[in-house]
Amino acid sequence: MTTDRSALVAAARRVVVKVGSSSLTTAAGGIDPARVRQLVEVLAAARDGGSEVVLVSSGAIAAGLAPLGLTARPRGLAAQQAAASVGQGLLAHRYQEEFARHGIVTGQVLLTLDDVTRRAHYRNAHQTFAKLLELGVVPIVNENDTVATSEIRFGDNDRLAALVAHLVHADLLVLLSDVDGLYDGPPSRPGSSLVALVRSEEDLASVTIGSAGAAGVGTGGMTTKVEAARIATGAGIDVVLTSAEQAAAALAGAEVGTLFEATGKRRPTRLLWLAHATSGQGTLTLDAGAVRAVVERRASLLAAGVTAVDGSFVAGDAVDLLDPAGVAVARGLVNFDADELPALLGRSTRELKAALGAAYEREIIHRDDLVLL
């Protein structure tokens, strides 16, 4: 059975487009006005065709290099943040000018990891996006590189784009790169072939994915793009991966690049991130009964079933849940600080309420904040 790409794209009323630094910059590393203009023309055409568009754009750090007299992307976090601070305004202004030529207003949205994992934050972020789109604005999204620390970063804008696509209830995610799609081996190697359609993990079994990205100003590689596609498709969103040069064709439904078909259904954004987070901020070891309750019955985690705590974390952080053998079985957002938990272990909620007060009559992790690994 073949997929009608044109029908799939035509049916997408809300589209998130992600563009990487390497697709926006010159050989010297600065922002290329011609490339930005070309991208905006494509997105404006999609808007004219009836689609709502959200743009996730890298390039803030790259845009800040030249004004700071830097010739390459700095390695230190503080220097990257300084470059982002200078470049973010320049990049946003460039987009504002180009979209204005088409009579389109843009709005800048800078996100941190907390904005898609913590309840109050992601609810507010969703409402902001909804209002911007209702008003006909094109949101320009980037990670808030100026203030994000290494512990709270998305890591790359590919994953950010997948989470934004879910946050705004997008129908389609388009990942634009300097490569025209997913290949079954290094694109430069003779004999490597384009993988036009990915319906499941089985279609990736014969694909060799390297981690090398564009040299110079980019941070992502094909590995992060495939991971972003997994996040989005697992949440019910189709994904097209192609080059920036083929953006117009991709948004017109042409058979370009690689189509990743949706495999799952929508679920809370914070859980989507939890399932794909690299690691928790700490661990909770569970007894066998608690493991069965969490994994088989999908129940909340209570203090009575926790036997050990490790790591430094605060309420709201992600922690891994380990079975008695030390194998991670789930990840969740914890309701207590690490230093509070030792006094609670092995005790029932009724006992905790009687001894410590009503504030302790609650789950260590609520089932709505748990994902199985």
Q: Is the pLDDT of residue 236 over 80?
A: yes
| Residue 219 zone, left/alpha/beta (φ > 0; ψ -120 to 50; rest) | alpha
- Mean pLDDT across the stretch 334-344? 92
- Asked whether the CA dihedral 8, 12, 18, 24 is positive or negative, the reply is positive
pLDDT > 90 in the chain, percent: 46
pLDDT confidence bin for 187, thresholds 50/70/90: confident
- Mean pLDDT across the stretch 207-233? 67
Q: Could you read off the pLDDT of 36-72 as tens digits, one per residue?
A: 999 999 999 999 999 999 999 988 888 888 889 888 8
Map tokens 């972020």 to a residue. 125
Q: Is the pLDDT of residue 303 over 60?
A: yes
The pLDDT score that the predictor gives to residue 369 is 87
CATH superfamily of 5-273: Acetylglutamate kinase-like (3.40.1160.10)
The pLDDT score that the predictor gives to residue 356 is 82
**What percentage of the chain's residues is helix, strand, coil (to nearest 5)?**
40, 20, 40
The pLDDT score that the predictor gives to residue 242 is 95
pLDDT confidence bin for 219, thresholds 50/70/90: very low
- Mean pLDDT across the stretch 186-206? 84
Q: What distances in angstroms separate CA 292 from CA 1, 289, 298, 307, 342, one per listed residue?
A: 40, 5, 8, 15, 22
Question: Would you list the domain boundaries of the chain?
Answer: 5-273, 279-372
Residue 299, Cβ neighbours under 10 Å: how many?
16
CATH number of 279-372: 2.30.130.10
Least confident of 110-124, 250-264, 268-282: 268-282
Q: Are 184 and 206 in contact (CB under 8 A)?
A: yes
Q: Could you read off the pLDDT of 319-335 as tens digits, one per residue?
A: 999 999 999 999 998 99
The pLDDT score that the predictor gives to residue 119 is 62
pLDDT > 70 in the chain, percent: 88
The whole-model pTM stands at 0.78
The pLDDT score that the predictor gives to residue 210 is 54
Please report the beta strands in the chain, taking only residues with DSSP state E, as ranges in sequence order.
14-19, 52-57, 106-111, 138-143, 172-177, 197-198, 238-243, 258-260, 282-286, 306-311, 318-322, 328-333, 370-372
Q: How many whole angstroms from its chain centre is CA 185?
A: 25
Please give the angle made by the CA atoms of 143, 146 and 149, to the nearest 5 degrees.
Answer: 80
Q: Are 235 and 268 in contact (CB under 8 A)?
A: no
pLDDT confidence bin for 278, thresholds 50/70/90: low
Q: Could you read off the pLDDT of 109-150 as tens digits, one per residue?
A: 988 776 766 666 777 888 999 999 999 999 999 887 666 555
| DSSP code string of 319-363 | EEEE-TTS-EEEEEE-SS-GGGGGGTTT--HHHHHHHH-GGGSS-
The pLDDT score that the predictor gives to residue 231 is 87
- Report the distance separating Cα 308 and Cα 300, nearest Å: 17
Half-sphere exposure of 146 (CA within 13 A, CB side): 11
